[in-house]
C-alpha cells in the first residue's frame, strides 16, 4: 500500500474511531464514556473528509458531537453515581450471539463487493459536490419525498416531545 496523506489519515481516523469505541465500552466512568464516544464520532467525521464529503463531515461534527453528545452528557449528569459503576453486564451468551451475527453481516457486506463479481459498482467516478447533494434533496426525480417525509417525522417528534414535557395545568 502506498504511504501518502490519505493512507496516514485513514490510519489516524481508524485509530480514533475504534479506540473511541473501545474506550466507550471499557471505561467505568459514564462521563468519560461520552467523551470517548465523541472521539469515535470525530473519527467517523474524518472518514467523510477522506471520502470527499465535507458537508457530511461538518454535519457529523455539528449534529453528533455538538448536539447529540452534549444531550447525552446532560442525561449522564442526571444519573446517580456517574463515576463508580459497580454493576457489570453479565449476560455473555446473548451478547456473544449478537456480536457474532453483526460481525458476520459486516464481513459478508464488505468482502462480497470487493472480491465478488461486481466490484465496479463500488467506485463512483463522479465526485459529488455539496451543490449536487442539495439539488438531489429538492429535485422532483431526486430524493424530495424522503426528504419531506423525514422533515415531517422530525417535526412530529418534536411537537410530541413538547406535548409530553409540558405541565398539565397550563
Q: How far apart are CA 123 and CA 114, in angstroms?
A: 10
> Per CB under 8 A, does 70 bind another protein?
yes
- To another protein, the closest distance from the beta carbon of 34 in angstroms equals 9
Give the residue carrying C-alpha cell 485513514.
Answer: 10
- Residue 60, CA distances (Å) to 10, 118, 147 in order: 17, 30, 18
Distance from C-alpha of 36 to C-alpha of 139, rounded to nearest angstrom:
39
Q: Which is nearer to another protein, 65 or 136 (CB)?
A: 65
Residue 44 in the binding site for another protein (CB under 8 A): no
10 or 29, CB closer to another protein? 29
Contact between 27 and another protein by CB under 8 A: the answer reads no
| Residue among 50 and 65 whose Cβ is closer to another protein | 65
> Exposed, middle or buried, 113 (CB in 10 Å: 0-12/13-18/19+)?
middle
Q: Which of 44, 65, 136, 137 binds another protein (CB under 8 A)?
A: 65
Q: By CB under 8 A, which span of 52-60, 101-109, 120-128, 135-143 interacts with another protein?
A: 52-60
Q: How far apart are CA 39 and CA 21, in angstroms?
A: 8
Does residue number 73 form part of the binding site for another protein (CB under 8 A)?
Answer: yes
Residues numbered 107 to 166 that lie near another protein (CB under 8 A) are: 129-130
Contact 70, 64 (CB under 8 A): no
Position 72 contacts another protein (CB under 8 A):
no
Give least dist CB 31 to another protein, A.
6
In a 3-state reduction of DSSP, which class is residue 37?
Answer: helix
Q: Measuring CA to CA, which residue among 141, 133, 149 is closest to residue 59?
A: 133
Residues that bind another protein (CB under 8 A): 29, 31-32, 35, 38, 54-55, 58-59, 61-62, 65-67, 69-70, 73-74, 77, 129-130
Amino acid at each position: 500500500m502506498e504511504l501518502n496523506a490519505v493512507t496516514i489519515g485513514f490510519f489516524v481516523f481508524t485509530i480514533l474511531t475504534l479506540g473511541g469505541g473501545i474506550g466507550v465500552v471499557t471505561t467505568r466512568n459514564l462521563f468519560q464514556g461520552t467523551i470517548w464516544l465523541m472521539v469515535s464520532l470525530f473519527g467517523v467525521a474524518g472518514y467523510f473528509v477522506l471520502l470527499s464529503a465535507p458537508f457530511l463531515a461538518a454535519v457529523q461534527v455539528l449534529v453528533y458531537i455538538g448536539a447529540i453528545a452534549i444531550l447525552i452528557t446532560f442525561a449522564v449528569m442526571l444519573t446517580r453515581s456517574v463515576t463508580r459503576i459497580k454493576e457489570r453486564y453479565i449476560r455473555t451468551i446473548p451478547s456473544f450471539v449478537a456480536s457474532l451475527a453483526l460481525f458476520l453481516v459486516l464481513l459478508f457486506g464488505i468482502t462480497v463487493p470487493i472480491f465478488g463479481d461486481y466490484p465496479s459498482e463500488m467506485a463512483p467516478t463522479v465526485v459529488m459536490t455539496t451543490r449536487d447533494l442539495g439539488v438531489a434533496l429538492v429535485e422532483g426525480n431526486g430524493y424530495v419525498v424522503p426528504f419531506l417525509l423525514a422533515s415531517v417525522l422530525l417535526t412530529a417528534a418534536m411537537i410530541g416531545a413538547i406535548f409530553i414535557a409540558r405541565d398539565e395545568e397550563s
